Structures are given as structure tokens and as C-alpha cells.
Amino acid sequence: EKENGDLFSKSFQDIISTLPKGNSWGFPDHLLQYHGFWHSSVFLQGILSAQQQFQAQPADIILCSAPKTGTTWLKSLTYATITRTSYDDSTSPLLSKMPHDVVPFMELDHAHFSTHRHLGIPVLATHMPYSALPKSVTDSSCKIVYICRDPKDSFVSLYLFLSKYQKSQNMQTFNLEEAFEQFCQGVCWYGPYWDHVLEFWTASLEHPDKILFLKYEEMRDDTILYVLRLAEFIGCPFSSEEEEKGVPEKIVKMCSFENLSNLEVNQNGKHRVGGAENANYFRKGKVGDWENWLTPEMAARLDQITMQKLSGSGLTL
């Protein structure tokens, strides 16, 4: 396996040396453009490794999203829904572990470890674009759940997340206006944002039984409704007895921003060795907080790009 690893990193170095380089918002390594999307080299290595190694099984559930669109929340809701007969809202591992430690990322946590599948429960998350997913994911009958969000809120969330990380590492933070320019040009982790969303949107129209397409704002509006849909879609619908007992409500409450963000593990913990502080994943959890960060001109520019990019798709954001 070591020899394979060495060969892999040699061919990886060969691949990345040929890729277009993009602005990385103040981080030392350039973003790299691979098949139309921008990635850091660590994530790209994980993507290529997952493409080579990951073997999806029919019962797998793959949670997909662009960064800062509600991934942490979707992970916790899905995990709590799937494990509800083993745990309740007083015993769930979500009370003592960060959602990212409960549901791993395919291209980060899983791809770098080994070729073996040792998922506790068959749920994995990824930020990969649809076109980059391992073939076994798109070809098998496993389910995909995608979440997206208003790009204005996603941009603000991403910018503030990265700035906090840069501050914590005593790095110079990147200027908001410059980051905004890069985001508009599509240069951001797993961007262009719109292309990421559109790929999953189009695939969800073609394969509605395989891909559930969710919007953060709609889920914020009526979380219970979407948890019922999610449960149905992933093949573990709530029974009428469970509904009478208020099980979906309890899951929604346990996974709420207010509850998760106040847990000790999410206030003071860190996930992954040397990783980001858990608290950074729980900033505000509001729809429309962009108003506090973007000028009306910036908002209008993003809206304009969104309208252009999504025109004719039937999708609005």
C-alpha cells in the first residue's frame, strides 16, 4: 500500500504541476483548477484518491454541498434521523462530538486513511462537484442529498470562516472586497459556486429518486417538513407512532443552531488534529445576514450573476 501511495503522490505532483492556478484568498498555496472547479491541493488529492478508491454501496447516503451552505446542519439532521432507534436526544453522539467527527468527509477523512470502508453508519459527506463524484456513487443506487444556499450568505459565511481561521493562525486576513471579486469570478473552494449548484440541480431533475435537492432557506423555514422528506427519501420514514410521539420535532430541536452551538464540544472543541475550531462552524445560522456585510451594489452584482447563471434552469436561489 505504501508503494501505491508513493506512486499516487508522484502522479499527483505530475497532475497538479499542469493545472491553472488561482487566487487563494491570502492562503499560501494557490487554488488549482481541475475539470472546471477550483480546489486546494489537499482537497484535490483527496478527491482523486476518493475517485480511485471509494466503492459506494447501495445503502450509502452521500451528503453533498458547496462549502458554507449548511453541511454541518445536514450532517447532524441526517445522522440523528438514521440513528434514532439507537439514540435519543439525551444520548446521541451529537451531544458530545462535532457533526464533522460523526459524519466524515469523503475527500478529507476517508480518502486519506485507507482503501477499507469502515464507516460506522453508511453516511459520508463531500463538497465534490457532481461531475467529480466517484463513479461508484453516480452509478450505484446509493442516495445523494444536496443542500444549497443563497450565494450572498454562502459568500459571507465562507469569507468570515476563513478570516477567523487566518486570525487564529496569526496570518494576515484577506480583504472582503478582494474575496468578493474572486467569488464573483468563481475562484473559491469548490467554485464556481453556481456551477456546483447547477450540476446537482440538473442531475436531481434527471434522477429525482437518487438525488434530493434541498435549500437552506426553505429548511430554516420549516425544518420538520424537510426532516420528514429526508427520512422518507433515505428509506427510513417516520412511523405514525413516531410522529405522534414528536420524534421528528425532537431531532429538529436537538440539531438546531441554538442547541448545537451551545454544546461544550462545539464551543470549545477542535476537530481533526490541528483543525479548525468547532465554534467556527456555528457562526449565526441566519438567513439574510449578508445584509450586514455586503453593500447594496455588491448584493446586486451577485444577484445579477446568479440570475444569469441559473437562467433557463428553473432554479432560483
Taking the complex as a whole, the smallest distance from the CB of residue 279 to ligand A3P amounts, in Å, to: 10
- State the binding string over 136-155 for ligand A3P (x if CB under 6 A, else -): -----------------x--
Figure out which of the listed residues 71, 81, 126, 163 binds ligand A3P, where binding follows CB under 6 A. Answer: 71
**Buried b or exposed e, range 152-187, using 16+ CB within 10 angstroms:** bbbbbbbbbbbbbbbeeeeeebbebeebbebbbebb
Q: Is the CB of residue 126 less than 8 Å from the CB of residue 64? A: yes
Considering only residues 219 to 278 of the shown chain, the ones binding ligand A3P according to CB under 6 A are 255-257, 260
**Binding residues for ligand A3P, how many (CB under 6 A)?**
20
Out of 127, 196, 207, 271, the active site residue is: 127
Figure out which of the listed residues 284, 291, 295, 304 binds ligand A3P, where binding follows CB under 6 A. Answer: 284
Element (H, E) at 115: none
Compare residues 16 and 260 and give the one whose CB is closer to ligand A3P: 260
- The answer to whether residue 127 is catalytic is yes
Taking the complex as a whole, the smallest distance from the CB of residue 71 to ligand A3P amounts, in Å, to: 3
Taking the complex as a whole, the smallest distance from the CB of residue 286 to ligand A3P amounts, in Å, to: 6
* Interface region with ligand A3P, contact rule CB under 6 A, candidates 106-114, 229-237, 284-292, 293-301: 284-292
Taking the complex as a whole, the smallest distance from the CB of residue 277 to ligand A3P amounts, in Å, to: 13
Helices 176-184 and 151-168 cross at an angle (nearest 10°) of 130
Residue 130, phi then psi, degrees to nearest 5: -55, -40
**Does 217 contact ligand A3P by CB under 6 A?**
no
How far is residue 309's CA from residue 27's CA, in Å, rounded to a whole number? 28
Tell me the residue type at 284: K
Helices 247-254 and 71-82 cross at an angle (nearest 10°) of 140
- State the binding string over 51-70 for ligand A3P (x if CB under 6 A, else -): --------------x-xxxx
Distances (CA, A) of 238 to 110, 222, 235, 243, 251: 30, 17, 10, 6, 12
- Mode of pairing for the β-strands spanning 123-126 and 143-148: unpaired
Compare residues 87 and 257 and give the one whose CB is closer to ligand A3P: 257
**Residue numbers of the site for ligand A3P (CB under 6 A)?**
65, 67-73, 153, 157, 255-257, 260, 281-285, 289
Residues recognised as catalytic:
127
